[in-house]
Amino acid sequence: MIKNFVLDTNVLLYDPQAIFKFEENNIIIPITVIEEIDRFKKDMNETGRNARQLSRYIDEMRAAGSLSNGIALENGGTLRVEMYAEKFMKVLPPELREERGDNRILAVALSVKEQDEATPVIFVTKDTNLRIKSDALGLKAEDYESDKVDIEELYPGFTELEVSAEMVDRFHGQGWVDLAGYDLHPNQFVTLRDAANPSHTALGKYRADQKRIIPIAKNGKDGVWSIHPRNREQAFAFDALLDDSIKLVTLVGKAGTGKTLLAIAAGLHKTAEENVYNRLLVSRPVFPMGRDLGFLPGDIEEKLTPWMQPIFDNVELLLSGHEAEKRHSKGYKELMAMGIMDIEPLTYIRGRSIPLQFMIVDEAQNLTPHEIKTIITRAGEGTKIVLTGDPYQIDNPYVDASSNGLTYVVERFKGVPIAGHVTMTKGERSELAELAANLL
> Domains along the chain?
4-143 (3.40.50.1010), 229-439 (3.40.50.300)
Average pLDDT over residues 11-36: 93
Dump pLDDT digits (tens) for 386-407. 999 999 888 877 788 888 999 9
Dump pLDDT digits (tens) for 193-231. 999 999 999 999 999 988 999 999 888 777 888 889 999
> What CA dihedral angle connects 394, 395, 396 and 399, to 10 degrees?
20
pTM: 0.76
Percent of the chain surpassing pLDDT 90: 54
Return the amino acid letter for 364. A
Cα(219)–Cα(241) distance, integer angstroms: 12
Our measurement of the distance from residue 290's CA atom to the centroid of its chain's CA atoms, rounded to an integer in Å, reads 16
Higher pLDDT, 11 or 294: 11
- Smallest CA-to-CA distance from 417 within 224, 285, 261, 247 is with 247
Dump pLDDT digits (tens) for 108-119. 999 999 888 899
45: number of Cβ within 10 Å: 18
